[in-house]
Amino acid sequence: MTAQQLRWGAPLLTVLLLGTALASPAMAQAQALTVVVTDEPKSLDPCDTDLSNNSRVLRNNITETLVNLNPADGSVLPSLATEWSQVDELTWEFKLRDGVTFHDGTPFDAAAVAAALTRALSPDLGCELAASGLPEIIEGTEIVDPLTLRIKTSVVEPILPNKLSALDIGAISTPADSKTREPIGTGPYTLAAWNEGQSVVLAAYDGYWGDKPAIADVNIVWRAESAVRAAMVDTGEAQIAFEIAPQDATTGNDRFYSNAETSLLRIDQSIAPLDDVRVRKALNLAIDRDGLIGTIFHPEAQKAMQVVLPSVFGYNPDIPVWTYDPEQARALLEEARAEGVAVDTEIVLYGRIGIYPNSSESLEAIQAMLLDAGFNVRLEMLETNPWLARLLKPYAEDRQPSVLQSQIDNTEGDAVFTLPSRFTTDGNTSTIADPALDKLIADASKATGDERQKLFQEAFKVIAVDDINIIPLFHMVTSARISPTVAYEPDVQAGNELKLKSISFN
């Protein structure tokens, strides 16, 4: 080797070595599992599992519930409770699993469940609990013995176990008067660290009562951009990335699955001209749903006629999907106009930015279809807070006629989790006031078995076919990018639950 070669070679080699050393964190194979989601959890308090970014970290990882719901059919499966029965009309009894401890070593028992329930329902704490109507119906608890708890309700509640699938149980030491950032549960993982703004780290819990998870260490990180989340799996920085937008989900590692959401437009049918059923029918006929599939919505999205999936108890399979018939839509508008209905009144199409991928584009397309059919429609995209102000009562008295972009999910498996708040006169997001429908939903909520199913099916028919309160769009499909190095199949609950126990490296 000549002196000249040495003179240039040594620095070059140094630079190359330095570059390799600096680059090595990016290239190293991860021993832990890294999952990338859209946003940081807001809270890791066991009672705040309504938000998916919270529940994905907590549910069945750090904390557990008395029961779980079968993703296939919504049936109730044992978890921390092994048996349950209705002792009388207003009392349910739960037998609790023996030999379970919290991560701090304290025993899981009836007192802990009672404390967790009381805490979650406390109005002062402001828990974000995804349990429809639970605070209004729980009267109290009775500790029969350390492994037997009775829960009393104020009304007949035939599916209380289903509703308790939303209650994560934290240790009795969890502060009763403030939210905790250090959850202590019974799950297969403990919270090792919450690096604010960067990551949540979970570590396997040696004292777990069930099967040990295959993966001991998990990092959960977040990136707002779908393309970045997807790229992280490609580079090996993550093994699983959720919520990949349709335009980014173009590789063989992208798995598509139903996320239990149904997209729709809610019609404010108390304001003219939307109070005329012909106008509401015309709105539905004017939309080319087939044209939206595979272009703006996912190719595997299913046209919907009601706001729950077929797997939900109470779903009505006999409601036909709307056809696309702009001619009939125009004819209905003409007919209504001839009778003095002010069909030319401007209707506002309210959208929510980012409610689902291509949310703005979908409404731009729908607006164009409605304009083509003869409607006078103005589009207004809103961020979440002003959208919520229009979703929730009380509504402004002097409001314009409008339809509101929305999305409803039901992973609880029963129509009672969807119908009362959205389609009854007193429902806080309802724009329908039909006493007959109110009675139908109330009776269905108290019934059981075939009677319950029949009544709920009838309710869905009234909403979609008789009253036409909604413009249903699609049962939605989302995608996750999964590295070939891991074995994981997302299911319909994957939007709210990251089932780390089911994941392993190949």
User: Where on the chain is the footprint of another protein (CB under 8 A)?
Assistant: 19, 22-23, 25-27, 42-43, 50, 123-124, 126, 128-130, 132-133, 135-136, 179, 181, 196-198, 221-225, 227-228, 231-232, 234-235, 237, 383-386, 388-389, 391-393, 421, 428-429
Q: Cβ of residue 225: shortest distance to another protein, in angstroms?
A: 6
Distance, CA of 495 to CA of 497 (rounded, Å)? 6
Q: Which is nearer to another protein, 127 or 471 (by Cβ)?
A: 127
Residue 49: both structure tokens together: 């599992």
Strand, helix or coil at 114? helix
The dihedral through the CA atoms of 238, 256, 463, 351 has a sign that is: positive
- How far is the C-alpha of 87 from the C-alpha of 387, rounded, in Å? 43
CA-based nearest residue to 413, from 260, 257, 258, 302 = 260
Beta carbon of residue 48, minimum distance to another protein (angstroms, whole number) = 10
Residue with Cβ nearer another protein (45 or 276): 45
Helices (H), 48-103: 52-58
Distance of alpha carbon 459 from alpha carbon 61, whole angstroms: 37
User: Which of residues 291 and 386 has its CB atom nearest to another protein in the complex?
Assistant: 386
Q: How far is the CB of 262 from another protein (least distance, A)?
A: 15
Please tell me whether residue 461 adopts helix, strand or coil conformation. Answer: helix
Tokens of 464: 């979609």
> Residues 185, 58: contact at Cβ < 8 Å?
yes
Least distance from another protein to the Cβ atom of residue 36, Å: 9
Give the whole-angstrom CA distance, residue 471 versus residue 287: 9
What is the DSSP pairing of strand 148-153 with strand 138-145? antiparallel
Question: What percent of the chain is helix, strand and coil (3-state, nearest 5)?
Answer: 30, 25, 45
Please say which residue, 81 or 130, places its beta carbon nearer to another protein: 130
Taking the complex as a whole, how short is the minimal distance between the CB of residue 389 and another protein, in angstroms? 7
**Considering beta carbons, is residue 369 or 391 the nearer one to another protein?**
391
| Distance in Å, CB of 428 to another protein, minimum | 7
d(CA 259, CA 19): 43
Rounded CA-CA distance 264/256 in Å is 20
Least CB distance from residue 257 to another protein, whole Å?
A: 24
Instruction: Provide the minimum distance between the beta carbon of 71 and another protein in the complex, in angstroms, as a whole number.
Output: 21
Residue 121 or 204 having the CB closest to another protein: 121
Q: How far is the CB of 232 from another protein (least distance, A)?
A: 5
Closer of 481 and 501 to another protein (Cβ): 481
Q: Interior CA angle at 401 toward 397 and 406, to 5°?
A: 100
Assigned token pair, 483: 């590295």
107 versus 133: smaller Cβ distance to another protein = 133
Determine the Cα–Cα distance for residues 486 and 495; give it in Å rounded to an integer.
19
Nearest CB to another protein, comparing residues 377 and 415:
415
